[in-house]
Homo-oligomer: A and B are copies of this chain.
């Protein structure tokens, strides 16, 4: 039987721990849709994320090399975020997932109401 133990090499667990949190995909999709964005722009685009969670999420995405962070030595300060090459290469796959969700959400909602 095929199994998926947590032996440290399971790609499903990896991708989940990266993208499965509450905000990462949303930030990635927002950045893809708008290109380069400042912190405030992202915060406005995703209204109900807290400042703290946006910072945390961006730091993780930056550490993973999916998002680049550019600080300008100005007053007032300016920080710009955008997808890296690696980040961009991920987006088509997320899009197919989102397309599937849009297509099948009606039947899922219907199924859920029967339970």
Contacts and interface: CB of A to CB of B under 8 A. Distances in A.
Given A64-B108, A93-B96, A111-B64, A45 B15 contact: no
B90 A15 contact: no
A112 to B, nearest CB: 5
Interface string A2-33: 11111000011111101111100110011001
A79 interface: no
Contact of A86 (B12, B96, B104): B104
Contacts of A107: 65, 86
A28 B63 CA distance: 29
A47 interface: yes
Contact of A30 (B4, B25, B29, B89): B4
B93 A89 contact: no
A44 B90 CA distance: 32
A53 interface: no
